[in-house]
């Protein structure tokens, strides 16, 4: 049987365009250089010395991150989108809520012909009953174990 050694995982392979640089890295590097030159020229036109206040390097950071940095093996922009959604947009405490069709039908049958005030009173009484049942259901240690020291 013929065996061939596979040098690397196929999912990690990235075709190169220029030497060892991928197309993504070439494009991001080019855009970064254009941004660096633009900000450098603006600094010069404003009379600032670009070597004293290197604001032009700000343009290099995003281009470098997008082109080369891959946290957890995923592209940087996907990582930032996921981090933004999970840390800023999504709630920190997620509430699990069930929308049960049969419970809704049961309520419609139970509360048929009742006014809104009567329904509110009935639901309040039901929630109090549930709270009492929950309180009673707690496990209590036997007296001899509670007094054990």
pTM above 0.75, yes or no: no
- Report the chain's mean pLDDT, rounded to a whole number: 84
Burial of 63 per CB tally in 10 Å (0-12, 13-18, 19+):
buried
Q: Where are the beta strands (DSSP E) in 5-106?
A: 16-18, 21-22
Residue-wise burial string across 102-133, b where 16 or more C-beta atoms lie within 10 A, e elsewhere:
eeeeeeeeeeeeeeeeeeeeeeeeeeeeeeee
Span 90-121, pLDDT tens digits: 877 777 777 788 888 888 888 888 888 888 88
């Amino acid at each position: 049987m013929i065996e061939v050694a596979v040098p690397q995982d196929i999912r990690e392979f990235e075709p190169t365009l220029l030497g060892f640089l991928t197309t993504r890295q070439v494009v991001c590097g080019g855009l970064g250089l254009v941004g660096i030159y633009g900000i450098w020229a603006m600094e010069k036109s404003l009379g600032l010395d670009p070597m004293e206040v290197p604001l032009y390097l700000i343009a290099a950071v995003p281009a470098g991150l997008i082109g080369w940095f891959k946290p957890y093996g995923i592209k940087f922009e996907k990582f930032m989108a996921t981090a933004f959604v999970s840390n800023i947009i999504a709630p920190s405490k997620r509430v699990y809520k069930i929308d049960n069709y049969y419970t809704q039908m049961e309520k419609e049958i139970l509360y048929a012909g009742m006014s809104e005030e009567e329904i509110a009173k009935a639901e309040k009484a039901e929630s109090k009953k549930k709270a009492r049942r929950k309180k009673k259901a707690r496990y209590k240690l036997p007296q001899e174990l509670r007094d054990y020291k």
